[in-house]
Amino acid sequence: MKIISKLWIFIGVLIVLSPLGLLLPDHFKAGSAWGEWGAEEMKELVGYIPKGLEKLSSLWSAPIPDYAFKGWEEKPLSSLSIAYIFSAAIGVFVCAGAVFILGKLLSKKE
Amino acid sequence: MHIPDGYLGPGTCGLFYLIMLPIWTAASRIVKKTLNSRQVPLLAIGAAFSFVIMMFNVPIPGGTTGHAVGGVLVAILLGPWLACIAITVALVIQALLFGDGGITAIGANCFNMAFILPFCGYYIYKAISYKSPVDSRRRVIAAGVAGYIALNIAAGVTGVMFGIQPLLYKTASGAALYCPYGLNVALPVMLGEHLLIFGWVEAIVTALVVKYLQKHSPELLLEGRKS
């Protein structure tokens, strides 16, 4: 098998395993990454929400926020894991697609 | 390491967009010159790999989480300029589709993870592996060391970006407008957690894949020298 196909299989395995990035932090009771708190979390940490942060933090509303479907915040971890795998697959697909388009535009024709 | 919207003031955000603009331009120019269509599939895998590896949040028990970027590996395989493009694609998609990293902070996040990280990693790898044969153990070690150091430099720069915000932006009463933590907190925390845990993740991922490629596709490790 060509190495490129092998590497794609490797990416596929990573997609399927990606919920580990959700389940392990949950198991070890680890919170957000440092400096990536939401406005509410920030209030708990420092006692107030910095004014500029409050304004900017809601600037962009991503279609699949935090790799979960909208309105799924209260769903159990099993559902969130499915959403996570789904997000990983979409992300990989869009990344690869974007690179192929960029590559077409940039690469020398041989 | 994905700085969200609202943590950096407008000046800082603008500055790093301005800094990244010529880097992106140079990258596309260099890529235009050196990329051949044979490399495009590998570049796509690079972007996809970086995207998905960043989803593997590693916990510090009872504390925070962090992750590898995979950017050093991409730089070793494709060179730092192509890596810059691949990681930029991953970061932009993370910000736009998944809200991971802010829209206003794309310049800053790309500076840390798509510029500092692959360039530091690439040159550290080259310096350590020097003229050693492609299948040598030294290259595996070089890959690991490069991953570890480069991720930590990037984390340190991120910490500085966070930490200078309270100095730059505050209200008349002295309350922070954006990131409320100064250098005395942001820098040691960002550096500490990456030195302790996340740097090792980048090191292990980078070294293991290089070791695998030595066995199964050593020609990929030669190609990284160009571009």
In chain B, residues with a C-beta closer than 8 Å to the C-beta of A12 are: none
- Cβ(A102)–Cβ(B89) under 8 Å? yes
At residue A109, does pLDDT exceed 80?
Answer: no
Find residues 37-76 of chain A whose CB sits inside 8 Å of chain B. Answer: 39, 42, 46, 48, 50-57, 59-67
- Can you give the pLDDT at residue B225? 45
As a whole number, mean pLDDT of residues B163-184 equals 95
Interface test with chain B among A82, A85, A102, by most B beta carbons within 10 Å: A102
Asked if the structure places residue B1 within a domain, the reply is no
In chain A, residues with a C-beta closer than 8 Å to the C-beta of B99 are: 60-62, 64-66
Q: Write out the residue range of the structural domain in which residue B187 sits.
A: 10-223
Question: What's the token pair of residue B114?
Answer: 């798509």
- Cβ(B109)–Cβ(A75) under 8 Å? no
* Partner-chain residue, chosen from B5, B186, B216, that has the shortest CB–CB distance to A56: B5
Across the interface, do B37 and A107 touch by the CB < 8 Å criterion?
Answer: yes
- Cβ(B31)–Cβ(B74) under 8 Å? no
Tell me if chain A has a CB within 8 Å of the CB of B179.
yes
Residue type, B209: V
| pLDDT digit string, tens, across residues A34-58 | 999 998 999 999 999 999 999 999 9
Confidence of residue A11 (pLDDT cuts 50, 70, 90): very high
Average pLDDT over chain A, rounded to whole? 93
In terms of DSSP H, where are the helices of B35-105?
40-53, 71-78, 80-98
Distance CA B167, CA B182 (A): 7
- Cβ(B34)–Cβ(A107) under 8 Å? no
Percent of chain B at pLDDT above 90? 90
Distance CA A40, CA A47 (A): 10
CB pairs under 8 A between A and B: 225
Tell me if chain B has a CB within 8 Å of the CB of A34.
yes
* Partner-chain residue, chosen from A17, A50, A108, that has the shortest CB–CB distance to B178: A50
Helix axes A77-106, A3-17, angle to 10 degrees: 150
Tell me if chain A has a CB within 8 Å of the CB of B217.
yes
Distance CA A69, CA A75 (A): 10
CATH of the domain at B101: 1.10.1760.20
Distance CA A38, CA A30 (A): 15
Distance CA B59, CA A23 (A): 10
- Cβ(A77)–Cβ(B18) under 8 Å? no
Residue type, B53: I
Count the Cβ atoms, other than its own, within 10 Å of residue B66. 28
Q: Nearest-CA distance from A108 to chain B in Å?
A: 5
Average pLDDT over chain B, rounded to whole? 95
Asked if the structure places residue B4 within a domain, the reply is no
Count the Cβ atoms, other than its own, within 10 Å of residue A6. 13
Q: Which residue bears the tokens 């250098």? A: B183
Question: What is the number of structural domains in chain B?
Answer: 1
In chain A, residues with a C-beta closer than 8 Å to the C-beta of B157 are: none
- Can you give the pLDDT at residue B223? 57
Distance CA A17, CA A24 (A): 11
Helix axes B10-34, B80-98, angle to 10 degrees: 130
As a whole number, mean pLDDT of residues B99-123 equals 98
Q: What is the DSSP string of B207-223?
A: HHHHHHHHHH-THHHHH
Asked if the structure places residue B31 within a domain, the reply is yes
CA B211, B141, B220, A15 dihedral sign is: positive
- Cβ(A57)–Cβ(B6) under 8 Å? yes
At residue B85, does pLDDT exceed 50?
Answer: yes
Tell me if chain A has a CB within 8 Å of the CB of B66.
yes
Percent of chain A at pLDDT above 90? 79
| pLDDT digit string, tens, across residues B22-69 | 999 999 998 888 887 778 999 999 999 999 999 999 999 999 999 999
| pLDDT digit string, tens, across residues A43-96 | 999 999 999 999 999 999 999 999 999 888 889 999 999 999 999 999 999 999
Compute the 3-state secondary structure of chain A and give helix, strand, coil in percent, each to the nearest 5: 65, 0, 35
* Partner-chain residue, chosen from B32, B50, B89, that has the shortest CB–CB distance to A98: B89
Asked if the structure places residue B5 within a domain, the reply is no
Count the Cβ atoms, other than its own, within 10 Å of residue A101. 12
Distance CA B223, CA B33 (A): 15
In chain A, residues with a C-beta closer than 8 Å to the C-beta of B195 are: none
